[in-house]
Amino acid sequence: MRASVEEAGALLARSDSAGRRRRSPVQSASSPPRPGTLRRQSSSFREDVGHAASETYLVSRLTFTLLQYLGIGYRWMSQLLALTIYAILLMPGFIQVGYYYFFSNQVRRSIVYGDQPRNRLDLYIPEDNSRPCPVVAFVTGGAWIIGYKAWGALLGRRLAERGIIVACIDYRNFPQGTIGDMVNDASQGISFVCNNIADYGGDPNQIYLMGQSAGAHIAACALMEQAVKESAGRPVSWSVTQIRAYFGLSGGYNIYSLVDHFHERGLYRSIFLSIMEGEESLSRYSPEIVAKTSSAGTIALLPLIVLMHGTEDYSIPSSASKTFVDVLQQVGAQAKLLLYEGKTHTDIFIQDPLRGGRDPLLEDLLSVIYADDTIARQKIVLAPTPRRLVFEWQLKLARQISPF
């Protein structure tokens, strides 16, 4: 098994290096655009699509090979088939979001934030950035295996239309990296946002951190790790105090309690423990456990923590968010839980935004971000309602077939 994982990681690394050689250089933090100026990157559409396609294909292929090697058969194959049908049903909406992602002048793709493979982020910038905009640093989900920064395009678009800059942070997936690499990548991406977002029209005093599913877990790990370091007086490249609030959407925060659940859902114990660097590391990468054992000084540094979860989420049960909020409140942190009645793992993040009209998640995010900005709230009330991107029958059928 070790040889297979190392071979997969080596192939991924070579693919990323080749991709970087094919691409023209992206804008770095040392030469940012002037605030209010939106220029497209020099890399062509063909190069962007080629890089994303080759990377996604290779990750999928290596994941399939690795899972097959570990003896995962019918259950995983049935999940893959369900995922494929789910994607086909929602494809009309995905195509429209993809068009926006590749052609909109408001999207700055693949800004490099570090030296490791996948150390890139996308920025979604509002059309009106005449004044510094609030910022959401977003870590996408993907079961720690198929995460990709473009998965946040729909959220990025919706928030940018409401005057908020969104930074979708990419990170190494398994088997290219394990959980420690993912948390380190996310932390570096957050650091880039905290230290450079003003150069892109963002307000460094209004930065929010958000993650969805596995990304919620990774972002929470990065936040807790940073708070522990900072309270101990260790050197840091970004401060927890720079984060106004953390939004965790459909995440799991006590990995110990989820191992058996994931095993039953098809993410088998053997591969999950490999992702988490062995059973001995489960406590370290369980934000709930870290919070329980942290000092009062560490807890005092934490921002407002808002956990959001659908009550019919079977991928990660809503109890995962509830117990984390309970622990945070017990140790003195500011935390609250928002439950979405009858919503599944993907309803809140994918199906509801594709449906158009009222979006409860968007409304809850804006109520926190613009809590002290009366002018922005008035503009939101007058903003046009998001249009429907997929027919209702497609959404209903996709919900029934969804492997999530």
pLDDT above 60: residue 43: no
β-strands 202-212, 133-139 pairing: parallel
Q: Could you tell me the two tokens for 201?
A: 């029209």
Contacts of 116 (CB under 8 A, 6+ apart): 172, 177, 181, 185
- The string of DSSP letters for 149-166 reads GGGGHHHHHHHHTTT-EE
213 is catalytic: yes
pLDDT for residue 82: 81
Q: How far apart are the first and last CA of the chain?
A: 27
Distances (CA, A) of 134 to 42, 106, 243, 244: 27, 15, 11, 10
Distance CA 197, CA 165 (A): 9
pLDDT at 344 over 70: yes
Catalytic residue among 16, 170, 181, 313: 313
* Per-residue pLDDT tens over the stretch 241-298: 999 999 999 999 999 999 999 988 878 898 899 999 999 999 999 999 999 999 999 9
pTM of the model: 0.84
Q: Given pLDDT bands bounded at 50, 70 and 90, which one contains residue 399?
A: confident
Question: Which pLDDT score, from 0 to 100, does residue 298 have?
Answer: 96
pLDDT at 402 over 90: no
51 is catalytic: no
Closest-CA residue to 171 (of 275, 83, 79): 275
pLDDT tens figures, 105-138: 999 999 999 998 899 999 999 998 788 999 999 9
The answer on pLDDT for 302 being more than 90 is yes
List phi, psi (to 5°) of 321. -75, -40
345 is catalytic: yes
pLDDT at residue 160 tops 50: yes
Helix/strand/coil for 242: helix
**What is the model's pLDDT at position 129?**
79
Does the pLDDT of residue 42 top 50, yes or no? no
Task: List, in order of start, the domains of the chain with CATH numbers.
Answer: 75-401 (3.40.50.1820)
- Average pLDDT score, the chain: 85
pLDDT at res. 114: 95
Catalytic annotation, pick one of 15, 110, 191, 213: 213
> Residue 27: its pLDDT value, please?
42
For residue 376, what pLDDT band results from cuts at 50, 70 and 90?
Answer: confident
d(CA 398, CA 293): 42
Those residues whose C-beta lies under 8 Å from the C-beta of residue 352, and which sit 6 or more positions away, are 343, 359, 360, 361
Rounded to whole angstroms, what are the CA distances from 86 to 154, 210, 239, 261?
Answer: 17, 25, 40, 22
H or E stretch at 403: none
Residue type, 285: Y
Whether 41 and 110 have beta carbons less than 8 Å apart is answered as yes
In 3D, which of 209, 84, 158, 172 has the Cα closest to residue 349? 158
Distances (CA, A) of 251 to 135, 210, 324: 21, 11, 10
Residue 387's closest CA among 122, 106, 157?
157
Return the half-sphere exposure (C-beta side, CA atoms, 13 A cut-off) of residue 4.
14
